[in-house]
Structure 1
Amino acid sequence: MTKRQIILALCILVGLAGSAWYLNSSADNQSENILVQPKVGPFRVTVTTAGELQAKNSIEIQGPTNARRNGIWNMKILKLIPEGTEVDSGEFVAELDKSELTSKIEDAQLAIDKAESQYEQAKLDCTLSLANARNDLINRHFSLEEKELYKEQSQYEAPSIVRQAEIDLEKTQRALKQARANYQTNILQAQAKMREVEAELSKRKNNLRDYEKLVQEFRITAPEKGMVIYVREWDGKKRTEGSQVSAWQPTVATLPDLSDMESVTYVNEVDIQKVTKGQVVEIGLDADPQKQLTGSVTSVANIGEQRPNSDSKVFEVRIQVNEADSTLRPAMTTSNTIIVANVDSALFIPLECLHTQDSLSFVYLRNGGDWVKQQVNVALMNEDDAIISDGIKLTDELMLSVPADSDELPFETLPRP
């Protein structure tokens, strides 16, 4: 092959490659520049969230209500019937661990034995003390008689002896009087001491009676007929076997009123501004996708909270379920569509067509054979589309993506009102 032929072949290859690149880039540009036209039809703005059914009203199945008074602060659930079990009034629901209470009963019995021993000892001490006081009084009576006889016998003696007899008699009389007063004091002291030990013994017996009565409350029964639903802890976990029941919150389970249900859901901080009390809600059940329910927003939390496994703040929203359905059960998962706005007929475009520049909304509009940035007024937006109230008409063609020469396109503003 000659040199001229080689050069000619290379030129042909370069030309074919350039043609292929041009055709490919043209096809890419043509595929990128997708055109759409506005649509007219019904338009809805909604906020969709997942929720959980719960009864608005329920009866609490409580554990021991006097545990705190008896010095028991936490109790472990040993047995708990399965959630969803139908029970009648008085039927067994749960049993709590009695080990701490049993230890207190044993200690109380030992305290009673000690108090009874102290009571008997105090009784013996008082008896002995009063017996000695009475004997002392009897002896002092005899001593008084002796002094009186001695005085009578000494009246014919010397004046000094007579005076000494009188002094001895007065001393004996005063000692007897003091002994009588001391005896009354000893009686009062004995009575006070006996009341003290008797009160201590009574206190210990009362403690034992309270503990024995409390034992019966560790077996928990249903106060009324209904379906048992577990309560949730502060972290959202259900209180089940092995969980601790606090003396301040002794609720073990609940009996919900299934005729009045609500869905509790949480809305993120971006969408919460759209949700207000009274809005209509379409409710679906994950357990039965064919069933559709209706409801309304009854409350919207003013303060956000951090839910488990969530990085952003959410706000609690409660939705009243309008229908009373026997198949509804607490803890069922619901899909809630909160209807924020509902327009019967409106002109709307896909959100991909909408752009912003200097806080102005615009679209890429075909104007004859050229493209322009056309300012538009946005009335409402949902997850997919936006209502345009001014700036375009139904027959306009819009570009769905950003053109390569977007910075060079002119910006057409709306006329001032």
Structure 2
Amino acid sequence: MSNKKRLFIILGVVILLAVIVAVNLERQSGSSVEVTVEKVKRGTIVQTVSGTGKVQPEMEVKISAFVAGVIKKIYVKEGERVRKGQLLAELDRERYVAGLDRAKSTLKSAQASLKKARADYKRMKQLFEQNLASAADLENAEANLMMAESQLEQAQASLREAQDSLDKTRLLSPIDGVVTRLNKEEGEIALGSQFQADVIMTVADLRRMEVRAQVDENDVVLVNVGNPAKIEVDALPDTVLEGRVTEIAHSAQTRGLGTAEEVTNFEVRVAVVTPHPKLRPGMSATVDIQTARHDSVLYVPIQCLTAREVSDSTLLALAKKERRKWRKGSKETVDQTVAEVTGETGAGASTRKAEGENNTVEVVFVVRDGVAKMVPVRTGISSDTDIELLSGVKEGDLVVSGPYKVLSKVLRDGMKVKIKKEKPKLGGSA
């Protein structure tokens, strides 16, 4: 092969490669990516935490007998309203009446013994003063008197105890409420233990209800006593009740310990502020607790937010621009912005490092004149659908919202984009 022919072949290969490179460059610079966009809006963002649980009365009392006996009479039915102090049930009183009679008899005997001991002591003292009795005789009389006084006190205590036991055969309602459950029937035996409850019935105040909801450990740190809440009860469709957090448990409830399904929750009690006549104990409910609310703030749909590596030179340039923009503010604001954008220092950097995200920053892509501009942003609170933006954008900006693959992987700063037009909804106006 001649040198001239070899030269032509080399030149041909070089030209072909140049054409391929030029075509690729032209394709990259000239082609556009189809995207969907959302406007940056100003409005209210409400951050919520959700939990599920059961409806229960705030006040619920389990009625048990303190003394043992056969249930002689039950005066109420399940579902009946009762008043505080109303007689609910009565145990067989015969053995306790007999016990009270014995205590009264013992008391009378003790009183008689004391009377005799006092007379004996008085007489012995007179004899001692006349030298007709010894000191030992006087001491014995005094000891008998003290013993009689002690026996009287014991008899009085036994009488009070017998009277108390008799009184406890009558079970009275401690609150105004409704009998929600009857566990015993007439003729059954009430055990009457103070250490192991033998529940005869349950009385609850259904005017004050609450939801005892299970909230995930990662969300419960956002909840505070007094937070407002929305309550939805499965049995009451299309009904939303108002609620308020009244109590947050300090101990966790863990299910599936040591398994892949391990879940750690905390019980949060939400009082029902707007009661419903059909609300019943035991109904399943979902609570949405409002943990934060920001009014008149800029926000976009959550899917508009994405992340990019800090090592990207373009992103670093934008980060510097963001810093210059915020220099007019306070030093604290500037430092916080830079820390969150670059991951250098501060609480935001520590959080990202702990989460393994110290090399990324949050950004949105703002579309201007058919070009997507990558803008680092600071975020605030978020709702289920939207997220607050504290910097980087202004109201009315068009921000890329999808498709997800394009937004998360393909899109780069300065890339040309084509806004995809939404299809008109059926039945809508043209």
TM-score, normalised via structure 1 length = 0.49
Larger radius of gyration: 1
TM-score, with length taken from structure 2: 0.48
